[in-house]
Structure 1
Amino acid sequence: MTRQHLSRIPGGRVLIVDYGGQYTHLIARRIRELGVYSEIVFHRDAGSLDVEGYDAVILSGSHLSVRSLSRGDLEVAEKILFNGSKPLLGICFGHQLIGYLLGADVASGCGEYGRTRVSITGGDELFNGWSSEETVWMSHGECVENPPGSLRILAVSENRVIAAFKAVVNNRAVYGVQFHPEVHHTGKGRLLFDNFLRIAGARREWRVENYYRYLLDELRREVVDDGVAVVGVSGGIDSTVTALIGRKVFGEKLIPVFVDHGLLREGERESVVSSLEKLGLNPLVVDAGERFISRLEGVVDCEERRRVIGEEFAKIFAEIVEKEGARYFLQGTTYPDIIESGGIRGAASVIKSHHNVGGLPEWFRDRVKVLEPIRYLYKDEVREIARLLNVPWELVERHPYPGPGLAVRIIGSFTRKKLEICRKASRIVEDVLREHGFYGKVWQAFAVVGDDKWVGVKGDARSHGYIVTIRVVESVDGMTADYSRLPYDVLDEISRRITNSIPDVSMVTYAVTSKPPSTIEPC
């Protein structure tokens, strides 16, 4: 599905111009939560878009300085600011960029980080429902100073930094906010977006169930013949929903393929195949464990592992495509996959190459038409479609599992021993959480194994075993996450079971870092 197709989505639309901000995806999520479709575009590509086709435009935050932008980058921003007629909102860097283009100075050395008090100094409908003082989330090293008379100050921080302003350009409202309304630490950030959408007059018609019907129509448009299609299924919600959508379009000409790459969790192959068969997706099972593991042994770099796994997947699917004479290949790529893989034309740095985005070789795409029906959806939206399709609860709420499997949960050199430790420890983590009623309350839970070891005592003898790190997080869409505050007795049980049943482990630790700054998966 292309951006041209997306222009036919009914209801309001907001364009988010991405300058590489770590919270850009959150802006998109907040707008969708308010019933308006949002779309992210790399800032250099925005110059070629008809921004007038959107109800409003938002400029994201960034790690950049406005003074570091090229002349070409500034020209794109100037086009949006001075030629547009739709309401414009700049957030953090976007706020600074608008101020700079309107004649203000952007100064360094005025950074603010974390929770900050702001005073609302100028009445404006953008701040309807806000009190005269509120707490917001700041994360900036530069700020707007010496604003021209055309900028009306709406809010000032406790550090006397301009926190919000308004200008009128081409008879439409242009706003800048130095804080981040998209993060939950800004208590009334959602209300600010709600007010902005009301100012823009955007129709609140975005519903996942409506998008699903639209998605089917658009997918049928892309299928120009009655050819055979292959879809990779892993048992995860993304690939399962993709396969069910594909079946509605291709019918019996859809071939679901489950590749056992030897990197699955304990008992997963049997469980996945059984679940898929209950949904009428009777997969072709490919036993390729040795094929993958033999290529991974000794590989240290996780990105190289992802490349190897992506290449091997592509080879297997290419063999099946050729054998079946397939014309199409479907995969469950989601919006977070694209963003984290740098798929929005490099707007954000590549966090990790997903095997079905960055890892799918071009030669494969040249042989078959790749269809990604859920590529513009977040995980929770995919789950909504799953419920519409009557997917069983245990599959809908199944924890996300990376395509490369346990290969990305092994730090350092990849070995078969570490793979088995990771497999057994992860099974224990999930079992304990299920027994205590926590599995359905958390987003993801697993074990990680590295090269580090810890001296221990087992059976009155000195041992030198591996350290296993447990990672349990809570999230909505996988783009941000926080570690789960599990009760100590649950953590204690996980630790005891792992050290008692896996001889090569002498220490268990618990990861207590959120995303960002870390990712959910270790590598």
Structure 2
Amino acid sequence: MDTQSIVILDFGSQYTQLIARRIRELNVFSAVLPCTASLSEIQAYNPIGIILSGGPSSVYDADAPDADPKVLELGQPVLGICYGLQFIAHHLGGKVRPADKREYGHAEVIVEDAKTALFAGLPSHLHVWMSHGDEALELPAGFHRTAVTNNALAGIVNEDRKIWAVQFHPEVHHTPLGKELLSNFVFDICGAKGDWTPAHFIETTVAAICEKVGSDHVLCALSGGVDSSVAAVLVHKAIGDQLTCVFVNNGVLRKNEFAQVTQNLRDKLGLNLVPVDASDRFLAKLASVTDPETKRKTIGREFIAVFEDESNRIAEQTGGVDWLVQGTLYPDVIESSSVRGPSQTIKSHHNVGGLPERMKMKLIEPLRDLFKDEVRRIGRDLGMPEDILQRQPFPGPGLAVRILGEVTADRVAILQEADDIVVKEIKAAGLYSKVWQSFAVLLPIQTVGVMGDQRTYANTCAIRAVHSEDGMTADWAPLPYDVLKRISSRIVNEVRGINRVVYDITSKPPGTIEWE
């Protein structure tokens, strides 16, 4: 990899992705690898610096997450955060023990060594966020203390070995000057150029695609969403007519979506598009399937099968199709493959968890290392229309993961009508671009109702709206009561089969954004 990068080794912290985001906000590329990554995997990213994340464990536990201690000897500057500090102390001859007083939440740090580059330009007293129950009792040879709190050590350094560490979390917004501290590490210590911009990403990615593909023909899996659309435009910029885009109706799209998206992709993006109506094929595969993971993987496998069928047809005209483009994003990879060392897989995603072990086409995933907001910035630099870039995320498995229980044509039709009302009312209220996602969910619950003096026994519909930056975490959105009232009234009056509407007020965590 030619791009400068900061590699973050993850020991299972809930804040690891925040570290990556803060570094990227400085226009420096960052990559999260599990703490178990090999030295060759780390060096493949051409790191100019390495950050060791926090984590929930104790370094002295028998099953503590561990990294190769040689990562401290690679010659690049190292910054340890929380558990990362303790990892450094533990492996270089210091001692770590349970702290006499644990520190969780707000704390004040006193900087004792203002000359060290990590604290350059920062005040002598810092408000920070702590989250630890252990402390470094004895420092390794050659290290000295740089900062303390009233209870414990808060920072250490060995400048000869180019190793810095802090016990607090500079990546969270509860540490107000944390970004400045990270900037000191990235620029003053690591010597970053800060040139990882949308324009730079486009230039390097286009060049890489051209080199990889050569004269081969490429098939792009288009959903009409932001991710696959930006991926398609990026690849089209690289190889032009060598790209054919396929948009599949999987039977679980939103109301009128197949026709509308087909028109948008052709007219607004100028892509060579092949629309494929495979709705009957997908619904047949989903018959009697109720398990969420099985739904996702079934749809993933069928997507690939459809694409391979289309590639065979296109091959008659082009001489073969060797590559498949997908709009996979970083959160998809993280949740599906548990990249974060000891953390758990949350759920598989159709474009990373549903691939067969032996697929005929090779993958191109140009957005695999990006978060959603970064993808939108790339799209703007590519000159894409805002109505496409501002489209709310829609899951690859579509309404199948918003229909709890079996997916049938009748249940899809009911949810399409309810979801269409939600989207229209959210847009009418001027809220569509202000929330991350807003949608309806069809529950496998029937309740008694009264309509026109008659007893009804019909389905329950849940409304979901959330705020988020990248889909990794989310807060439920407090929609205005008048908007919720209109949505509820319209659904029960206009959608046959639904007689009750509820509102989901669960954040992520503990829930996920989608219900399945």
Q: Quick check: TM above 0.5?
A: yes
Q: CA deviation at 1:291?
A: 1.2
- Where does residue 144 of structure 1 map in the other structure? 135
- Where does residue 119 of structure 1 map in the other structure? 109
- Is the CA contact 1:100–1:106 (under 8 Å) kept in the aligned structure 2? no
- Is the CA contact 1:297–1:416 (under 8 Å) kept in the aligned structure 2? no
- Where does residue 39 of structure 2 map in the other structure? 47
- For residues 81 and 499 of structure 2, the distance between their equivalents in structure 1, rounded to whole angstroms, comes to 48
- Is the CA contact 2:60–2:96 (under 8 Å) kept in the aligned structure 1? no
CA deviations 1:486-520 (Å, max 9, x no partner) are 22222222222222222433332222333233222
Q: CA deviation at 1:131?
A: 5.1
- Where does residue 329 of structure 2 map in the other structure? 334
RMSD: 2.6
CA deviations 1:426-463 (Å, max 9, x no partner) are 21111111101110111111112222344433223333
- Where does residue 270 of structure 2 map in the other structure? 280
Which amino acid is the alignment partner of residue 259 of structure 2?
A: E
- Is the CA contact 2:425–2:483 (under 8 Å) kept in the aligned structure 1? yes
Q: How does 1:234-383 map to 2 (within 5 A)?
A: 234-278=223-267, 279-323=269-313, 324=315, 325-342=320-337, 344=339, 348-364=343-359, 367-383=360-376
CA deviations 1:353-403 (Å, max 9, x no partner) are 111112111221xx2222112212221222122112221110010111111
Alignment of 1:388 onto 2:378: no
Which amino acid is the alignment partner of residue 363 of structure 1?
A: R
- Where does residue 19 of structure 2 map in the other structure? 27
- For residues 286 and 431 of structure 1, the distance between their equivalents in structure 2, rounded to whole angstroms, comes to 26
Range with bigger deviation, 259-268 or 371-380 = 371-380
User: Out of 141, 151, 158, which is 1:168 matched to?
Assistant: 158
Task: List runs of 5+ in structure 2 lacking aligned partners.
Answer: none
Q: CA deviation at 1:331?
A: 1.3
Q: CA deviation at 1:282?
A: 3.7
- Where does residue 513 of structure 1 map in the other structure? 506
Q: CA deviation at 1:110?
A: 5.9
Residues 55 and 451 (structure 1), Cα distance of their counterparts in 2 relative to 1, 3 Å cut:
same
- For residues 433 and 375 of structure 2, the distance between their equivalents in structure 1, rounded to whole angstroms, comes to 17
| TM-score, normalised via structure 2 length | 0.90
- Is the CA contact 1:100–1:144 (under 8 Å) kept in the aligned structure 2? no
- For residues 297 and 259 of structure 1, the distance between their equivalents in structure 2, rounded to whole angstroms, comes to 19
CA deviations 1:210-245 (Å, max 9, x no partner) are 111010111111114x22211111111111122122
- Is the CA contact 1:339–1:348 (under 8 Å) kept in the aligned structure 2? no
- Is the CA contact 2:35–2:341 (under 8 Å) kept in the aligned structure 1? no
Which amino acid is the alignment partner of residue 91 of structure 2?
A: L
Residues 156 and 274 (structure 1), Cα distance of their counterparts in 2 relative to 1, 3 Å cut:
same
Q: CA deviation at 1:157?
A: 5.3
Task: List runs of 5+ in structure 1 lacking aligned partners.
Answer: 1-6
Residues 421 and 132 (structure 1), Cα distance of their counterparts in 2 relative to 1, 3 Å cut:
farther
Alignment of 1:461 onto 2:475: no
- Is the CA contact 1:19–1:60 (under 8 Å) kept in the aligned structure 2? yes
Q: CA deviation at 1:338?
A: 1.3
- For residues 223 and 254 of structure 1, the distance between their equivalents in structure 2, rounded to whole angstroms, comes to 10
Alignment of 1:433 onto 2:423: no
- Where does residue 4 of structure 1 map in the other structure? none
- Is the CA contact 2:147–2:156 (under 8 Å) kept in the aligned structure 1? no
- For residues 349 and 395 of structure 1, the distance between their equivalents in structure 2, rounded to whole angstroms, comes to 33
- Is the CA contact 1:85–1:170 (under 8 Å) kept in the aligned structure 2? no
Residues 37 and 304 (structure 1), Cα distance of their counterparts in 2 relative to 1, 3 Å cut:
same
SS in 1 for 2:109: strand
Residues 45 and 246 (structure 1), Cα distance of their counterparts in 2 relative to 1, 3 Å cut:
same
- For residues 69 and 224 of structure 2, the distance between their equivalents in structure 1, rounded to whole angstroms, comes to 47
- Where does residue 98 of structure 1 map in the other structure? 88
User: Out of 3, 10, 19, which is 1:18 matched to?
Assistant: 10
User: Out of 69, 72, 78, which is 1:78 matched to?
Assistant: 69
Which amino acid is the alignment partner of residue 8 of structure 1?
A: D
Count of residues in correspondence between the two structures: 504
Q: CA deviation at 1:295?
A: 1.9
SS in 2 for 1:362: coil
Residues 167 and 412 (structure 1), Cα distance of their counterparts in 2 relative to 1, 3 Å cut:
same
Which amino acid is the alignment partner of residue 96 of structure 2?
A: D
Q: CA deviation at 1:317?
A: 0.9
- For residues 145 and 394 of structure 2, the distance between their equivalents in structure 1, rounded to whole angstroms, comes to 47
Alignment of 1:209 onto 2:212: no
SS in 1 for 2:13: coil
Alignment of 1:36 onto 2:25: no
Residues 50 and 429 (structure 1), Cα distance of their counterparts in 2 relative to 1, 3 Å cut:
closer
SS in 1 for 2:358: helix
Residues 428 and 112 (structure 1), Cα distance of their counterparts in 2 relative to 1, 3 Å cut:
farther
Range with bigger deviation, 209-218 or 128-137 = 128-137
Q: CA deviation at 1:108?
A: 7.4
- Is the CA contact 1:333–1:372 (under 8 Å) kept in the aligned structure 2? yes
User: Out of 189, 198, 203, which is 1:199 matched to?
Assistant: 189
Identity %: 41
Alignment of 1:401 onto 2:394: yes
- Is the CA contact 1:96–1:176 (under 8 Å) kept in the aligned structure 2? no
Range with bigger deviation, 283-292 or 347-356 = 347-356
Q: How does 1:228-239 map to 2 (within 5 A)?
A: 228-239=217-228
- Is the CA contact 1:342–1:348 (under 8 Å) kept in the aligned structure 2? no
- For residues 135 and 502 of structure 1, the distance between their equivalents in structure 2, rounded to whole angstroms, comes to 53
- For residues 209 and 23 of structure 1, the distance between their equivalents in structure 2, rounded to whole angstroms, comes to 28
Q: CA deviation at 1:342?
A: 1.1
CA deviations 1:275-326 (Å, max 9, x no partner) are 1011211421111112111221332211111110011111111111222221
Alignment of 1:227 onto 2:206: no
Residues 171 and 138 (structure 1), Cα distance of their counterparts in 2 relative to 1, 3 Å cut:
closer
Which amino acid is the alignment partner of residue 97 of structure 2?
A: V
